[in-house]
Amino acid sequence: MADGSARGDRASETRRAILVAAERLFAERGVVAVSSRQISEAAGQGNNTAVGYHFGGKDGLVRAIVRRHADRIDTARTRMLAEIGDSTDVRDWCLCLVRPGTEYLATLGGTTWYARFAVQTMTDPALRETVLDEAFGRPSLLRALDGLNRCLPSLPPRVHLLRGEMARVLLTHSLAERERILATHGTAADGVDWHAHTTALVDALVGLWLAPVTDPGADTGPAGRAPSGCLA
């Protein structure tokens, strides 16, 4: 029994080492540029088939990385949803999309890679659906999006779609850029920590959604949805 427990502990530690190494390498170099052999070496594994053995390949590895973070972010967002109830304030719902992820990154301390990892995987055609399925299908995120949509002003369908795309890019790439700046310079460079970035990002999202519509032909086109957050 003791031997079995020890083997289980070693396997768990190996999996964790692989997850941490892969997240960093994917964030820094991109998914395509990183091989399973490089991940195994960075994780201190002499066996170059360790990634395949523990995760079945890159798809399973990416899914496990997302789940490792998304579970805790989902818990925080669920708590925020209970706090804001049936709010009709656009800002409350934008906060609910942004703050669970940024606060989570702040609690990790030191250098983080998850926001940059998320951008890399979301722009990889082979892995995008994996990330969408694992992170963005969470009930708490869908509830936050529904809440945001309910309190937005009436927008022409095409404008709604375009602003959703813009908001998604703003969310994912601004978080990745802030993470890069913090990893390289810390907060001393510009004085912006995760808390300050959250406030600025939510201000920008609220402004984007509530901006006036000036395109006279914007009442045509397919309906869209509000965006999901990259750290859902």
- Over residues 12-22, the pLDDT tens digits come to 899 999 999 99
Mean pLDDT value of segment 130-144: 85
Percent of the chain topping pLDDT 90: 64
pLDDT at 107 over 50: yes
Domains (ranges, CATH) in the chain?
1-56 (1.10.10), 65-232 (no CATH)
The one-letter amino acid code at 76 reads A
Please say if the pLDDT value at position 115 is more than 90. Answer: yes
Per-residue pLDDT tens over the stretch 189-215: 678 899 999 999 999 999 999 999 997
Contact indicator for 14, 43 with CB cutoff of 8 Å: yes
With a CB cutoff of 8 Å and minimum separation 6, the contacts of 167 are 205, 208, 209, 226, 227
Question: What residue type is assigned to position 210 of the chain?
Answer: L
Contact 73, 101 (CB under 8 A): yes
Mean pLDDT of the chain, nearest integer: 87
Torsion sign over Cα 51, 53, 57, 62: negative
pLDDT-based confidence at 224, cuts 50/70/90? very low
Query: Greater confidence, 155 or 229?
Result: 155
Nearest to 180 by CA among 189, 46, 4, 151: 189
- Give the span between the Cα atoms of 186 and 37, in whole angstroms: 31
pLDDT 10s digits, 45-73: 877 788 988 999 888 999 999 999 999 99
Q: Name the percent of the chain lying above pLDDT 70.
A: 88
Res 94 pLDDT > 90? yes
pLDDT the model gives residue 230: 45
